[in-house]
Structures are given as C-alpha cells and as structure tokens.
Structure 1
Amino acid sequence: MEKFLWGTATASYQCEGAWDEDGRVESMWDNYLHNNNLEDGDVASDHYHRFKEDIKYMKDGGHNTYRFSLAWPRIIKNINGDVNPKGIEFYHKVIDECIANGITPFVTIYHWDLPQFLEEKGGWINKETVEAYIHYVNVVFREFGKKVKHFVTFNEPRYFIFSGYKIGNYPPALQNTELTIKGSYYVMLANARAISEYKKLNLDGKIGIVHSFAPVFGVDDTLETKIAMRNADNFMNNWILDTAAKGEIPIDLLTRLSTKYNLSYITPEDMKIIKENTVDFIGLNYYARALVKPYTEGETTLIVNNAGSSAKGSSKVIIKEWFEQVFDPASKYTEWDTEVYPRGLYEGIMMVHNKYNLPIYITENGVASYEDVSGNELINDDYRIEFLNDHIAAILNAKDEGADVKGYYIWSTMDLYSWKNGCKKRYGLIAVDWENGLVRKPKKSYFWFKKVCESNGKIIDRRNV
C-alpha cells in the first residue's frame, strides 16, 4: 500500500538566499524588491548553505517528504537558455540528501521567481516565455527525472498572475485586466506543454499543478447567489483546475470575457494541446474559503492585506457585475485577514474529488503569526497545533468519504521570507532567529507534528471537525 506523505514545504526565493552566488542570475523579485527598497530575500533562511541541517530536522521530525521549488534563475543563466552547472549541482545535492534520509522529494518547477531577463521581454504576457519555460522544464526533467517521482509545473498560477497583473502588489506590479487574462492563458498553455514534454520521456513519475484553492460558499441559497458563486468559482478556481484536469477552459468564462476583451491569441492549436495534456494529480494550497454574495455596487476592488495587524480588516474583493466576497462575523481571522475555517478544507476536497476524480495532495496549509523567538525556551505555538489538528482532521474525514488524498504539507518547514509580508510573518514549525545568526529553533508544533507523522495521523483529535 502506498504510504501517505507527511511533510512540510518551502519555496526557493523564500528560503534559499544566496541570491547572487554560484552563477544564479537576477529574478524578477530581486529586481522589484531591490529597486523599490523593500525587504528582500537576499539571505532569507539561508537554506542554500544550510539545506543539510534543515533536511536533518525534517528527518528527526518524522517527515517522509519535502516539497520545495527549483529556482529558474539558478538553473538557466541567460536568454539563450544556457545552463548553470552550479545550480544543477545544488539541486542534485538537495534531492540526494532527501533520498538518503528517507524523504520523498516533491519538486515544484516554478514558484514565482521568473528570471529578470525574461521579465524584461514581457514575462508571462509574452508567448516567448512559454518557449523558455519548455526549454527549462526539459533541463529539469532530464537532470532530475529519474530521482524525482512527483513534479509540479506551477505553484498557484492564480495568485502570481492576479497579484502581478491585476492587483499590482507583486511584480511586475501592473493593474490591467486584459494582460491578466493573457498571462493566465499562457501559463496554462505552458502547463499543458510541460506535461507533454514529461510524458515523452516515459519517466517513472507523476506530474501535476498546485492551485491556491478557495472553495466557494454562498451566503444563502437564492438563484442570484448561486450565479455569483459560479462567477466566483470561475474567477477563483475553474480556469486553473478545469483547464489542468479536464483540458477545458470554462466556456461560460470565455464567453463572458470575449464580450469585453480580445481573445484572438487563444488558438485551436493551443486548445488541442491543453485538451490532450492533463495533470496526473492536483495540489491544493488551502488557507481559507471564499464566502460570496451577489454583486451590489462599486468598481472592481482587490485589496490584499500584506501589512498584518496594522491593516487588519482592510482586505476586500469586489468583481464588478460578478460577485463580492464577504467576511463571516462568526469566524476567527488571522492578523492578515485569513479566515480560520477547517470545514472549508473538507468541503473543498470533496468538491475537487467529485468533479475531477484525481489524486489530491494538500500541498500547503498553515497559519502565520507574530512570534518572539529570541529566547531559549521552547516556543509555545498551541494556536498553530490547534489549527493544524483541525485541518488534518478535515482531510482524514474527506479520505473516509472516499477522496484520494495522498499527502499533506505544512507551510512551512522553517520561518521564511514571506514575500511582501517580510520576515515577521512566521509560518514555520522551526523558528529562524533572524537576529541571532539564523539559528534554528524547533517550536512546540514541530514535536507535535512528529507524533502525527509517526502515527500516520492517528493522534489527530477529530471530535470537533
């Protein structure tokens, strides 16, 4: 019987550091953060130099898998596609260290750190980036494909495309709906083409996509709310999951967009590729549901709280003539306006299982907080243990109902650089003392999760979920 994968996750830019070492070239995030004098990931958790220590913590913590991403700018060094041997060597070392410690590597090929030389040519709104990505994935498959059995084409296409091209809070910091649609399409085309390349190599593994999953709930059962829910589901989920799992972009979404925007770049040839190359599994990153109501008034508004407690309650989503997202006053929320709603994970898994009937991995789930990690005493994060327990219970309940969930990854292994939220937003099971030489300090949740892993989830309290 296939073992359930219990582990944690990171992303290259958020943990590696070493931003200009050993031939790594500038990423779009390096350029954006440096030019805007923002807190950056130049050092981050220094995983580049400490990966052996970090993987030992995983092993000692009972993990049997590690989800991490490759840095495209560490592997491909210029617009001609030349390979950086030092980058290849580093990831071979990471993968080999995982395998030597009984840890299954679960490898994300793209987690947002586009090389700046591609961003300067238009990034994801330029179809040439698709070609560059296909060259990159072929290097990855040929180098690591015999060792790695689980590949992810993209982490959270919705999040990085919407943030970069519509909301404007991430690079390239644009606010343009037409470019958002084009970037979304080219990323999903790149996903399908990467799957095609992987299958050609007849490797002994699986390939999927990871989605920033927001299962949609309505405020009531009226027809108007159900229409708003469908609009929200297309906006939040379907353009990724339907496209990746069924090879079909939702026709009602395309029809609606075509009334206002030029979609002539969507070709029958591309759609054939998308149809014929679908994922082997679906990765779901779950932090919160989307509770929606029918649109009432106002312009499209997408406000994300990247400031934490100083901006608590500022998040807002209105998609004009489509839907509005609302806060449930009965729910708890984090300092960053994220609703704590474990039931949504159970419901969401069942939605995905019933719709696509594919293996599912919960590729990110976790909770952030401000934490003082400066002392020598054990960091007591009981709130995190409660959060994780209830979400794992939701997963186990879904498995009992027949959902083919094969793994669970806590975000994150250690405290990381958290994009525009900086380093104060701590998710890790292991603290990183930024002020004291990046010393690692396992939190109470680390030791609790060790028991979860070693018992295969049997210690989870499922009474209240």
Structure 2
Amino acid sequence: MRENFLWGTATASYQCEGGWDEGGRVPSLWDTYLHNNQLENGNVASDHYHQYKEDIRLMKEGGHKSYRFSLAWPRLIKNLEGEINPEGVQFYHNIIDECLTNGIEPFVTIFHWDLPQYLEDIGGWTSRRVVTAYEELAKLVFSEYGEKVTYWTTFNEPRYYVFSGYKIGNYPPGVNDTQKTIEASFYMMLANAKAIKIYKDMNLKGEIGIVHSYAPIFGVDDSLETKIAMRNADNYFNNWILDTAIKGELPIDMLTRLNDKYDLSFIQTQDLQDMKENTVDFIGLNYYARALIRPYSGGETVLRINNSGSSAKGTSKVVVKNWFEQVWDPNSEFTEWDTEIFPQGLYEGILMAHKKYGIPIYVTENGVADYEDVSVEQVNDEKRIAFLNDHIDAIIRAVEAGADVRGYYIWSTMDLYSWKNGCEKRYGLVAIDWEDNCKRKPKNSYYWYKKVCESNGEMIERKREYETNFVSL
C-alpha cells in the first residue's frame, strides 16, 4: 500500500455521541421519530460526547492514522434563522484538535443523516429551502475547521438515507412516496454541488468528496435481459450518486424513465449547470455487500430490509417493478441481518469504479456486525478478524491491479447505536458496556488491526484468486 495510506475507523455523530440535549444541541428528526415511537434511541449512544479523548487515545494506541466522523447539524445551528451554537462549534474544534495532537488525520463528513427537526418540519430534503440551509452549514464548518481539516465529504450515503426515509419508510420521516424520493435525491445531490463550490471558492488546502453506499452490480447470467436489469439496478443503487458527483451528469436513461411517470419540473436548468461545474475530488465507498440481479419477473415493488437481526433472518427482499429483482446466492454466508459476506464484491467493485471514473477512492466503511457478550474479560471476535482480513486483502488486490485506493476505514471505532437495529448489533473494534457507564474494552480485533496499521497492511493473510459463476458489470 502507498506510504501515506490512511488506516482508520469511522463513526457517525448520532450513533456515537449521545449528549442529545446537552451543549445547546437541538433535536434531530431521529430524536423526534425514536422518542415519539418509543423506540431504542441514541440519547446516550457510545457517550463519545463525554469520552472522545479516551476514544482518540485508543485510536492512537491502536495504530490509527485517521478518524472518519461526522458533524451533528443540530449541535451546530439551532434554528431556521441560522443561529449558531458556540458550544457545538467548540466541541468539534476539540475533537479535531485532539485528533491532530495525537497524529490522527480527521476525515470529516458534514451530514450523516441527523437532520435538525426544525428542517424536517418544513419538508426535510424534499424542500429546496433545506439546500440553502445546507449551504449555510457548509460555510460555517469550512470557515471554522477548513484550515485544520484536509479531507471532507459532503454527505454519507445519500441513497441509503433517502430510500430508507422516503421510499422504504423504515427510517424517518417514515414515508413511502416515490415523488418525494426523487425530489429528496435530487436536492441532496444539488446540495453536494453547492457545498463543493463553496469549498473551492474559499481556496482551502484540502480535498472534498462524497460517501456512497456502494453495491457493485452482479448478474445471474450474461443474457441481454439480465444485462438490462443490471443497468437498471446500477442506476437505482449507484449511478445517480456517483455519475452525478463525479461526472456532473445524472443518468439520462434513468431521468427519461422517471419523467414518463413522475413530475420532474422542480429541476431547474441552473441546478444541472451547478452539478456539472462542481464535482468531487474523490469518492468514498461504503462496502458491505454486492447486489446480485436478475430480470424482473412480475409483481409489485417490494423493498424489505431486515432491521431485526436473527428473528427476521431471510426476510429481506428487493424488487423494483419493471426494473430488476435482487436475489441472494444460496452458496454464500450471511450475517444475522441478511448481509452477504462477499469480499470479491469489494475487489471487483473497486475496479469497476476505477475503470469508470478514474479518481481516488477511499473505502470509507467496511465491517461486520455480530451479537457479542462484552461482559467477558476479553471479547474474542475472530469472525470479525477473518472478515476484515479478507476484505483488506481484496483492497490490496485491487491496488495491485491498478486502482488508486488511498484509505480504509473500519465500521466502527467502537460499538454504536445502529439506527433501527439498536445497540445489540455490534460493529466496533472497541466494546462498549452499556451496563457500566459505557466502559471501553478493546476487542481482539482492535489489537489485530493495530498490527495491520503499523505494518501498512503487510501482515494481511493473502487469499487465492477469486472465482465466480456470476457476471459483473
């Protein structure tokens, strides 16, 4: 791997900070949604708000070169009038400074899903006013932290956020409305372009990108029907983020198809110009699994995601009417949440992105969840170590094949609140004992990853070449 490769771990503000009503923070749409529905919430989460110094110390001792985290919009701007919260601004100065003092490169995401409730009240991402509000947030954070932070991303997983909130309905605001899904998708990508323009106009020293929930597309065979379904699936899962952010162009075949049934009159000519002129310096790819695709065979659209773990294992289903169907390989291994374990997908996915776009890549999330007993003296998470080894090996293979990969971030730094999956879905290299004041306890994977970081990946156990019976894009 390159000498300055960024080895790190990642978190998100709502999932780790806690302190939901402290330091001038106002409610987010997640606070309102979870409290109103009496669901498990992130009020405390991993208590990073109070224990960030210990967390960053553990990163340093664990060999990390970088820490990817997000800024909580509700902690920074308090209302529609744009009132800035000085306590929130200082909190992120403290985190950034603590990282730099410890030799940890901050890799900062501006928005990772925790929209202020006051913006949700005016329509959330279906409102053009929220784009303007996001521009003001971008100006604030670039002004405050731009001289300290080299690596910025505008959004974390806009596709996953929008589809979960506006189409699947399993995340807030919890609706199923294709028109709103299209509007929110477009406005987030417009906001991405607006933020990039602000950043470039400020002549800051760093780089700015976007983080995408990447699902490399594979097909069940090489028939024409399957290839058409794969293109439809690639538009659905990937292209409207990556083509727009990197090339400045929305997929024209997708727009044409949507325009036959939905109202796209909200798209202005200047919007398309802004997207064309303001593109990213790099892409962050969050990889958990591929998407294995076959042609649509009939029936209505079904988008069912397993947020319940083992009790609902095998219930996930994705069918987009007249577009494609996603299937699951019966020969693969799956987590309790129906996520396929398929390192080859990361290898091929990186090469797909490299061939298509040719810009620097960071693997900004990759990890595996499990149920774990953290009351034991030492958490032995050998399955996680094996998973991480095989996925890092996939990255090394992609680099050897010519891809420009510059960093890798495990999800997650510590055990977190995992959205609707709650706290029992554990991803962390460091265990959090929620029964003992969020006490930190490094798992075996933490010590293993320390060796990976310090050897720059040299100690990874290399695997044989991949084999597949499926067709990839």
| TM-score interval for Structure 1 and Structure 2 normalised by the shorter chain | over 0.9
What is the Cα deviation at residue 462 of structure 1?
1.3
Q: 1:412 maps to which residue? A: 412
Q: 2:471 maps to which residue? A: none
What is the Cα deviation at residue 267 of structure 1?
1.4
Q: 1:108 maps to which residue? A: 109
What is the Cα deviation at residue 398 of structure 1?
0.5
Contact 2:77–2:84 (Cα < 8 Å) also in 1: yes
Deviations 1:407-434 (A, max 9, x none): 0000000000000000000000000011
In structure 1, C-alpha distance between the alignment counterparts of 2:192 and 2:183, rounded to whole Å: 14
Whether 1:9 and 2:10 are equivalent positions in the alignment is: yes
Structure 1 unmatched runs, 5+: none
In structure 1, C-alpha distance between the alignment counterparts of 2:263 and 2:3, rounded to whole Å: 47
In structure 2, C-alpha distance between the alignment counterparts of 1:330 and 1:172, rounded to whole Å: 36
What is the Cα deviation at residue 209 of structure 1?
0.1
Show the 5 A alignment for 1:195-206.
Answer: 195-206=196-207
Deviations 1:7-38 (A, max 9, x none): 00000000000000010000000000000000
Deviations 1:331-358 (A, max 9, x none): 0000000000000000000000011100
What is the Cα deviation at residue 325 of structure 1?
0.2
Show the 5 A alignment for 1:112-151.
Answer: 112-151=113-152
Structure 2 SS opposite 1:271: helix
What is the Cα deviation at residue 463 of structure 1?
2.3
What is the Cα deviation at residue 268 of structure 1?
1.1
In structure 2, C-alpha distance between the alignment counterparts of 1:3 and 1:236, rounded to whole Å: 31
In structure 2, C-alpha distance between the alignment counterparts of 1:336 and 1:198, rounded to whole Å: 38
Deviates most, 433-442 or 405-414? 433-442
Q: 2:97 maps to which residue? A: 96
Over the aligned positions, Cα root-mean-square deviation in angstroms equals: 0.6
Q: 1:299 maps to which residue? A: 300
Q: 1:26 maps to which residue? A: 27
Show the 5 A alignment for 1:149-298.
Answer: 149-298=150-299
Structure 1 SS opposite 2:111: coil
Show the 5 A alignment for 1:55-70.
Answer: 55-70=56-71
Q: 1:396 maps to which residue? A: 396
Deviations 1:70-107 (A, max 9, x none): 00000001110111000010000000000000000000
Q: 1:427 maps to which residue? A: 427
In structure 2, C-alpha distance between the alignment counterparts of 1:51 and 1:443, rounded to whole Å: 18
Q: 1:440 maps to which residue? A: 440
Amino acid at match of 1:410: I
Contact 2:392–2:460 (Cα < 8 Å) also in 1: yes
In structure 1, C-alpha distance between the alignment counterparts of 2:403 and 2:258, rounded to whole Å: 33
Contact 2:306–2:338 (Cα < 8 Å) also in 1: yes
Q: 2:352 maps to which residue? A: 351
Whether 1:464 and 2:449 are equivalent positions in the alignment is: no
In structure 2, C-alpha distance between the alignment counterparts of 1:66 and 1:104, rounded to whole Å: 6
In structure 1, C-alpha distance between the alignment counterparts of 2:457 and 2:106, rounded to whole Å: 20
Deviations 1:30-68 (A, max 9, x none): 000000000000000000000000000000000010000
Q: 1:324 maps to which residue? A: 325
Contact 2:40–2:422 (Cα < 8 Å) also in 1: yes
Structure 2 SS opposite 1:109: strand
Deviations 1:244-288 (A, max 9, x none): 000000000000000000101111110000000000000000000
Contact 2:390–2:463 (Cα < 8 Å) also in 1: no
In structure 2, C-alpha distance between the alignment counterparts of 1:254 and 1:462, rounded to whole Å: 43
Amino acid at match of 1:196: K
Structure 2 SS opposite 1:114: coil
Show the 5 A alignment for 1:335-374.
Answer: 335-374=336-375
In structure 1, C-alpha distance between the alignment counterparts of 2:266 and 2:438, rounded to whole Å: 47
In structure 1, C-alpha distance between the alignment counterparts of 2:3 and 2:207, rounded to whole Å: 14
What is the Cα deviation at residue 437 of structure 1?
1.6
What is the Cα deviation at residue 2 of structure 1?
5.6
Structure 2 SS opposite 1:25: coil
Amino acid at match of 1:45: S
In structure 2, C-alpha distance between the alignment counterparts of 1:111 and 1:158, rounded to whole Å: 12
TM-score (norm. length: structure 1): 0.99
Structure 2 SS opposite 1:181: helix
What is the Cα deviation at residue 375 of structure 1?
2.0
Q: 2:452 maps to which residue? A: 452
Deviations 1:130-173 (A, max 9, x none): 00000011000000000000000000000000000000000000
In structure 2, C-alpha distance between the alignment counterparts of 1:226 and 1:119, rounded to whole Å: 39
Structure 2 SS opposite 1:393: helix
Amino acid at match of 1:280: D
In structure 1, C-alpha distance between the alignment counterparts of 2:167 and 2:248, rounded to whole Å: 24
What is the Cα deviation at residue 436 of structure 1?
1.5
Structure 1 SS opposite 2:130: helix
In structure 1, C-alpha distance between the alignment counterparts of 2:368 and 2:210, rounded to whole Å: 22
In structure 1, C-alpha distance between the alignment counterparts of 2:115 and 2:434, rounded to whole Å: 26
In structure 1, C-alpha distance between the alignment counterparts of 2:262 and 2:95, rounded to whole Å: 44
Amino acid at match of 2:112: H
Amino acid at match of 2:352: M
TM-score (norm. length: structure 2): 0.98
What is the Cα deviation at residue 464 of structure 1?
3.2
In structure 2, C-alpha distance between the alignment counterparts of 1:230 and 1:463, rounded to whole Å: 30
Structure 2 SS opposite 1:288: coil
